Structures are given as C-alpha cells and as structure tokens.
Amino acid sequence: MISRRRFLKTSLSALAFAAIPKISFSQSNPDVVVIGGGSSGLSVTAELMKKGKSVLCVDAMSRKGGRCFTNTSIFGVPYDLGAHWLHNFNFNQIAQYGKKQKDIFDIYKDPDTVMIYDGQKKIKGMKLYGLYKKLGKLKNKTKDDIPLSNKIKEKWLENEWFATAHQIRFPCESGKDIDQYTAADGKLNWESYGEGSQGGDGFVKQGYGALLAHYRQNVPVQLQTTVNEVKWDGNGVKVVTNKGTISAKACVITVSTSAFNSGKIKFTPALPIEKYEAYDAFSCSNYNHVTLQLKDDFYKEYKVKPDMYFTPKITTKGLKSPEGYCSTMNLHDSKISYFDVGGQFAKDLEKAGSKAGIDFVLQTLRNTFGSDFDKFYIKGHMTTWGKNPFVLGAWASATPGKADLRKNIKTSVADKLFFAGEATAKNYGTVHGADRSGARVAKEVLSFV
C-alpha cells in the first residue's frame, strides 16, 4: 500500500506544476508589476502580498521557477534543468523550509564522495588535489580586478592535471574559464557576505525546482506574458506585454542580466547609462547539464554511490577552455548522472547541439569504462540555457576590470523601477541568493508604494 509519505512525494510533481490562478488585467491595475517568476520574482511578489500590496507577477515562459525548475517527464524521475545544489546548506532558507516538510521532501547534506580516473585507472588523485588547492588559494587571495590567468605560475600549466583542476575551479564553479574570470568579483561573494561558503551543499531528492515551487506555491504568476516595454515617464509605470498594457505605481525587474542586455525589454525613456554599463559588465556565463540515464548495472559494477562526483582526467593543453566536465553521478539514486560543462567549451557544445553534447560525454565514458560502455546507456539530454531567449546563459559574472559595477545593477531608478535577481544578491548566482534579493527589494518598494 502506498504510504501517505510516499503518496505526497510521488504526487509532488503534479502539485509543483498545477494550474496557476489566472489574473486578468481587467482585475484593476496593481500597485506593483514584477517582471519574472523565477526565485527572485516569486520572493518579491510574496513579500509584497504579505504586506497587503496588490502585485501582478508576469513571466514569459509557460511555467514558474525560471532557472530553478524540475522536469519529471524527460527521464521519468526528478531532473533539475537548472539549479540543483542547495548551496550554503546550513543557512539556505529554502532548504530550511524543505526540512520542515518531512512528508514531502528528502533533504540531505552532500555526501561529498569522489572517484577520480586517469584514463581507465581509478586513482587517489593527490596531484590533482594539490593543484586544485593552489588554484583555490589564488582565487581567494587575489584582489586585483584582472583575468586571473595573469596570476598563474608557468609550472602549473605543465602539470598534467592542470586542465582538470581548471575545470573544477572555474568553468564548474563560475561558468567561466580562468582567463575570463576576475577574483575581485569572487571576493564579493565569498567574503563580504560573512557566511561565505560555510555550510557546504545539500540536495533535495524531489528536485530543487519542485522545492522552490512548493515554497512559493501560493504566489500567482501570469504566465506566457512577455514584457516588451516599460514606460516610466509620467505618473507610475506602464508595462507593455503581449497580452496588453498594465499600469502600476512601480515595477520590479528580475530578468537575467543577459535577458536584459538582449534589449527585448525597451525602457522609455532610456535608463541612466550606468544601468546599461553595469548589466553589460555582468552578462551571463555558460553552464549546462549533459545528463545521461544509465542502467543500474553500471553503478553497481563501478561501485558508484548516489551523488558521487566523477572526475576523469582532462587532457586539454594550456589555458584553453577545458574540454571536459564535472560529473555528479547517480543523482539521489535516480540512475541519472550529470556531466556539467562550463565556460567557452559549454558555449561551443551548445552551438554544436544536444546530440554533439551527448556524443562527447559518451565517448569520454567509453575511454574510461571501456568501448562497450554503451550497453549501460539508456537516454540522454542536454540543457541549452544560452539558447533560452528569456535567460540567455547561466548566471551573471563580472567581466575582468568591471567587477566594481555589480553594485549598480541593483540601484533603483526614479523611486519606481526596482531591480532584483541573482545578479543583485550577495550570494549571487544562486537560488537562495535570488530569493533574498526579492526580500531586499520588497522592503525598498514598500518605502515608496
């Protein structure tokens, strides 16, 4: 018999994507229009609603969650197309919410187990760890706003594990290669925030997107509503969408920096130049999941524990974007494994298409586990966030030399245009950071509306 706990857990996906109340524009014009129903937009909407404000949150996509969304149809198990790690686990307010919903969510700390391969040989990887630590130290110590590649030692490049350490520290952590990465921006995230990366990471078996959807289940979003223009001359704002024009006292913009930079939302009159400069300096980095569903026999034969990190040696030379991935295998024991690509290589692979991405990963697995590896393969999928017109990348990341402009992304304009989203958060590039940015902006809005 299906237990209550099991029933709740299995019916979760239905709840997460259940029909969302429709709001008609004729319902009268709201106090505030929120553009974007991702983590930050849902947060600002919830906070303003709590304070009795009328809010209309709109999103161009046909679902809530933005870059934090769990798909259950591709593999028949929860599959996070975007965010997956519950970062800052001990302090993450969304994880804390989920931990209280024991009937619905299985939330646990990242077991942090690793298997490293040099070709077909499983190794301890001490050389890799040594270099990985050096790159981490460099990242933390450097204050200069320059490409971090300017600071690396020539002899590190000769180390046979350089490309692998580069991959883990840069494309996987920031979606950027070391020559596009400025440690001055990293500083803001890991040090000025105080809590830094303490608390490690956690996972939620039902998917981070499903958890976010539950956390914000009472927040209505008007879907498939694309904002084309924000007119902010005169009184209040007029938000022009494909479904009509909404008048409001204020507007909160939560779209990704690259969606903003695409110019799809026109501002009339134009925003102050500093705003465009700041967004432009922080366009989105590149990061995608190539995901394979593999037979249980594979995980058994190679003793792959749930959520185990798999690191095969990458042989790309010098500073070139590493042609490889960071893999998390057998996610939550669901038999699907991520092979995450980042930086320029991710961009190239996205351009080449999903089949090329899956073929690339399969070839590396044949190289490691034998030419007959395909006997374990069931199905593959690759995300293409850079092609999603309403996101256009992974998360905001500083252009070297311009890290200081991040603070200008979040400044309000004329006491009626407000800016939230992961790029404006202290814990930027994360779901819980985006959520906190929504709470910050709600307070700001309340002093004017």
Inter-helix orientation angle 208-215/93-100, to 10°: 80
The least CB distance from residue 299 to ligand FAD, in Å, is 22
Nearer to ligand FAD, 147 or 342 (CB): 342
The least CB distance from residue 221 to ligand FAD, in Å, is 9
Give how far Cα 316 sits from Cα of 81, 310, 344, Å.
27, 18, 13
What order of strands is seen across the sheet that includes strand 250-253? Answer: 55-58, 32-35, 250-253, 417-419
Nearer to ligand FAD, 222 or 368 (CB): 222
Dig out the tokens for 332 from the structure.
């939550």
Nearer to ligand FAD, 48 or 152 (CB): 48
What's the rounded Cα separation, in Å, for the pair 53 and 206? 32
Give how far Cα 32 sits from Cα of 38, 146, 215, 399, Å.
16, 40, 21, 32
The least CB distance from residue 250 to ligand FAD, in Å, is 16
Q: Produce one character per residue of 87-120: b if its CB has 16 or more CB atoms within 10 Å, e if not.
A: bbbebbebbebbbeeeebbebbebeeeebbbbee
Cβ(20)–Cβ(414) below 8 Å:
no
List Cβ neighbours of 93 (8 Å cut-off, separation of 6 or more). 432, 435, 436
The least CB distance from residue 160 to ligand FAD, in Å, is 29
The least CB distance from residue 309 to ligand FAD, in Å, is 13
Nearer to ligand FAD, 140 or 262 (CB): 262
Nearer to ligand FAD, 131 or 212 (CB): 212
The least CB distance from residue 11 to ligand FAD, in Å, is 24
Other beta carbons within 10 Å of 303: 9
Nearer to ligand FAD, 288 or 337 (CB): 288
**Cis, bond preceding 269 (omega within 30 deg of 0):** yes
The least CB distance from residue 435 to ligand FAD, in Å, is 8
Nearer to ligand FAD, 39 or 174 (CB): 39
Nearer to ligand FAD, 127 or 426 (CB): 426
The least CB distance from residue 233 to ligand FAD, in Å, is 20
The least CB distance from residue 236 to ligand FAD, in Å, is 19
Nearer to ligand FAD, 152 or 441 (CB): 441
The least CB distance from residue 417 to ligand FAD, in Å, is 15
What's the rounded Cα separation, in Å, for the pair 42 and 23? 15
User: Which residue type sits at 210?
Assistant: A
Say which residue the tokens 């400069």 belong to.
Answer: 277
**Of residues 25, 38, 30, 43, the one with CA closest to residue 64:** 38
What's the rounded Cα separation, in Å, for the pair 57 and 42? 8
Dig out the tokens for 228 from the structure.
């084309």
Dig out the tokens for 39 from the structure.
């983590």
What order of strands is seen across the sheet that includes strand 227-231? Answer: 244-248, 237-241, 227-231, 266-268
Nearer to ligand FAD, 162 or 338 (CB): 338
Chain residues that interact with ligand FAD, rule: CB under 6 A: 35-41, 58-61, 66-68, 82-85, 87, 226-227, 254-256, 259, 264-265, 287-289, 383, 385, 390-391, 394-395, 421-422, 429-431, 434
Rounded to 5 degrees, φ, ψ at 94 are: -75, -40
